[in-house]
A and B are shown apart, each in its own frame.
Chain A
Amino acid sequence: MIDFLNALVLFANFVFVPGLAYGSQLALGALGITLLYSILRFANFAHGDLMAFGTMFVVLLTWWFQSLGLSLGPLPTALLALPIGVAITAVFALLTDRLVYQHYRKVKAPPIRMVMASVGVMFLMNAIVRFIIGPNDQNFFDGQRFLIKARAFKKATGLNEGLAIKASQMLTVVVAILLVAALFWFLNRTRTGKSMRAFSDNEDLALLSGISPQKVVMVTWIIAAGLATIAGTLYGLDKSFKPFTYFQLLLPMFAAAIVGGVGNPVGAILGGFVVAFSEVTVTYAYKKLFTYLAPQQWAPEGLMQLLSTDYKFAVSFIILVVVLLVRPTGLLKGKVI
């Protein structure tokens, strides 16, 4: 029985808790991608760098607040900076839409051209972020680091294995739940949300019934920018902020959106967790877990690790390819919103 509890705690500590936090971060990013896809009808390759851009402002504001002596006590100061960061990023996203994407909508360009334009925007944002904050690791976490410390957990329970829950992990999950709830309420209950869904279902019909396309596009960008900034900030608080890693997040986020079914918000969330948990479970070494669960004489010699951790990103690729081959619509039917 004790062995079983130990195994459970071990699994929670190294697989479940990190996977849950990472999955929530991916889900928020994938939601933005899916929304943009269903309303503006193109895959936004600049999303990873939009995250980096927003997070950069949050980091800068956090440093400023810290120097002023502002703080939220046990919570990270970054939460205070977040709303302003979201606002700045939203303005920036609207600006890129006005300067770049609006033109392609006006000439009714095929989606592939918008995708290529977004690649250009991606490089631009990439450069701006590196220009302002530099390519290095930045740490902006403050406040209380742990909810449960591994050592304290061991002492309290008497188990062999410790369970650590970082405040940033808890924060990520809570914020993600609140945000997703708010988003679904918005899409299903408000007039603007309903007009967005109508617009994504059938653009011409929506136009005929008097829905303003400008407004729908604007609201979509604001929501996507907000989600990206919040996801980026949570990721940065939990791990660390480095522009290049945000660029790399693009792949798992796209994998998440496609696995769940592009254009389907529930799918994006599901996809985020599928990708996150696949990455963590496939690269985890199960030797210790197995030793707890199986009889002594079965103890394995090897590490029981399917893939070396070096191949973590390959997992997103494999999932992406398999889903596109076997079930191109994604797990949940990718019907638009």
Chain B
Amino acid sequence: MKKFLLASTIMAGLTGAAFADGHELKMGVILGFTGPIESLTPDMASAAELAMKETAGEVLDGKTIVSVRGDSTCTDAAAATAAAERLITSDGVVGIMGADCSGVTTAIANNVGIPNGVVMVSPSATSPALSTIEDKGFFFRTAPSDARQGQVLADILKDKGITNVAVTFTNNDYGKGLEASFKAAFEASGGKVAISAAHEDGKADYSAEVGALAAAGAEHLAVFGYVDQGGKGIIQTSLDTGAFEKFILADGMIGESLIAAIGEDLNGTIGTLPGSESAGAAKFKEVASAAGLAKNDGPFMPESYDAAALMILAMQAAGSSDRAAIQSNMMGVANAPGEKILPGELVKALGILKSGGQVDYEGASNVTFTDVGEAAGSYKELVVKGGKFETVKIR
């Protein structure tokens, strides 16, 4: 029985490899299709797959990149690692677009991605800790580090004259990292964090947490959590008990499902989301609508598109689908010098690379990698107005 299993695994591996030698190359898309951000991930995945569709039959010598999805669950490191393992060893993916949440992304990078020498580009893992992991150059992200988001949030509050806030964060790498960077930046600019308390996701009742937050006496509550999870519960309970009426949200809390669940009480809420209003962002919306995607403007969709596009361009620049060759070309295609490339121009970029030219991929989110391979980061300042998130300005 064991031998049979072994034999069939090898066969599957071989056929997978044989398949990859044909006209298709596989790229892993690992996102939390179940779990606390499950309402965001389908759109993120289809944005990444849009870049693959756009370049179908054009990569290298006429190859098509196809996506293989894996579930990161956003919270369960073991499950995410297993999913990544499967993609890398049995599907033989050339690179991984993902993962999404910081904790599982770190786990996948350390356990599977880096040891196997596979390039990972995360569109949404924002923990500051990921800037300093020993990644041997294999981990990239098109999302900026929260060290930056904390600073941006602090700047917004300073501009609005808000000097005293209560902070609650989801009890994981993302929440803690963002809380620490926000607190440092906010206190440096003269603000005061009245109370900073973690919350656990997935509870039925947050009245005790909200009671403690309210007792500190701040008027504004900053929520660094997840939109389909504890973050929503905290906001609902705060409004129910009248503890807080004004909220400050970080990127994990930006989603239309929040407005749908809470309603008009959310008007006036401010928030930040990585992104820009650049020509690339507008172009991405066009391309996404033209391709018939369900949404053309969801959280982390531009970053997801860019993550996949960068790997495809790096592959072309390398002239091979070898994993290490992709890695050594990532920085080159993302940064200057070269011709600027916007969404929808991937085929043009492939052409330039084929003829020996250079590209500087700008993409949907204005990508420029810092020397540790992460987006330098511009953020949209959002405000909820008439039941919608509206962009006030770019920071």
Task: Please tell me if A47 contacts chain B, counting CB pairs below 8 Å.
Answer: no
Residues in A whose Cβ lies below 8 Å from that of B12: none
A303–B195 CB distance below 8 A: yes
B215–A287 CB distance below 8 A: yes
Number of interface residues of B (CB under 8 A): 26
CA of A154 to CA of B242 in the docked complex: distance in angstroms? 10
CA of A288 to CA of B242 in the docked complex: distance in angstroms? 15
Interface residue range, chain A: 35 or more
B211–A14 CB distance below 8 A: yes
Question: Given A149-B242, A285-B195, A287-B217, are A244 and B202 also a contact pair (CB < 8 Å)?
Answer: yes
Task: Please tell me if B204 contacts chain A, counting CB pairs below 8 Å.
Answer: yes
A14–B204 CB distance below 8 A: no
Task: Please tell me if A71 contacts chain B, counting CB pairs below 8 Å.
Answer: no
Residues in A whose Cβ lies below 8 Å from that of B172: none
CB distance from A78 to the nearest CB of B (A): 16
By beta carbon, the residue of chain A nearest B217 is A288
Task: Please tell me if B203 contacts chain A, counting CB pairs below 8 Å.
Answer: yes
CB distance from A10 to the nearest CB of B (A): 8
CB distance from B235 to the nearest CB of A (A): 14
CB distance from A171 to the nearest CB of B (A): 15
A-B contact count (CB 8 A): 89
CA of A164 to CA of B242 in the docked complex: distance in angstroms? 7
Q: Which of A58-66, A90-98, A211-219, A307-315 contacts B (4 or more CB under 8 A)?
A: A307-315
Task: Please tell me if A162 contacts chain B, counting CB pairs below 8 Å.
Answer: yes
A164–B212 CB distance below 8 A: no
B216–A303 CB distance below 8 A: yes
Task: Please tell me if A329 contacts chain B, counting CB pairs below 8 Å.
Answer: no
Question: Given A285-B212, A288-B215, are A13 and B241 also a contact pair (CB < 8 Å)?
Answer: yes
A242–B200 CB distance below 8 A: no
Question: Given A291-B217, A305-B212, are A239 and B204 also a contact pair (CB < 8 Å)?
Answer: yes
Task: Please tell me if A144 contacts chain B, counting CB pairs below 8 Å.
Answer: no
By beta carbon, the residue of chain A nearest B212 is A285
CA of A166 to CA of B240 in the docked complex: distance in angstroms? 8
By beta carbon, the residue of chain A nearest B207 is A18
CA of A304 to CA of B211 in the docked complex: distance in angstroms? 12
CB distance from A48 to the nearest CB of B (A): 13
Residues in B whose Cβ lies below 8 Å from that of A280: 207-208, 211
CB distance from A310 to the nearest CB of B (A): 7
Q: How would residues 287 to 299 of chain A score, 1 for a CB under 8 Å from any chain B CB and 0 otherwise?
A: 1110100000000
B211–A285 CB distance below 8 A: yes
By beta carbon, the residue of chain B nearest A148 is B242
Q: How would residues 28 to 45 of chain B score, 1 for a CB under 8 Å from any chain A CB and 0 otherwise?
A: 000000000000000000
CA of A145 to CA of B171 in the docked complex: distance in angstroms? 30
CA of A150 to CA of B241 in the docked complex: distance in angstroms? 6
- Say which residue of B195, B197, B204, B208 sits within 8 Å of A245 (CB atoms): B204
Interface residues in B203-224 by Cβ distance below 8 A to A read 203-205, 207-212, 214-217
Residues in B whose Cβ lies below 8 Å from that of A283: 208, 211-212
30 A-B residue contacts at CB 8 Å?
Answer: A13-B241, A14-B214, A18-B207, A18-B211, A22-B205, A137-B204, A146-B240, A149-B242, A150-B240, A150-B242, A151-B245, A153-B242, A154-B242, A166-B240, A235-B204, A242-B204, A245-B204, A245-B205, A280-B207, A283-B212, A284-B215, A285-B211, A287-B215, A288-B215, A288-B216, A288-B217, A303-B195, A308-B212, A309-B209, A309-B212
14 new A-B contacts at CB < 8 Å, known A14-B214, A150-B242, A244-B202: A146-B240, A150-B241, A162-B242, A163-B242, A164-B241, A245-B205, A283-B211, A285-B216, A287-B217, A288-B215, A288-B216, A303-B195, A309-B212, A310-B171
Interface residues of A (CB under 8 A from B): 13-15, 18, 22, 137, 145-146, 149-151, 153-154, 162-164, 166, 235, 239-242, 244-245, 279-280, 283-289, 291, 303-305, 308-310, 312
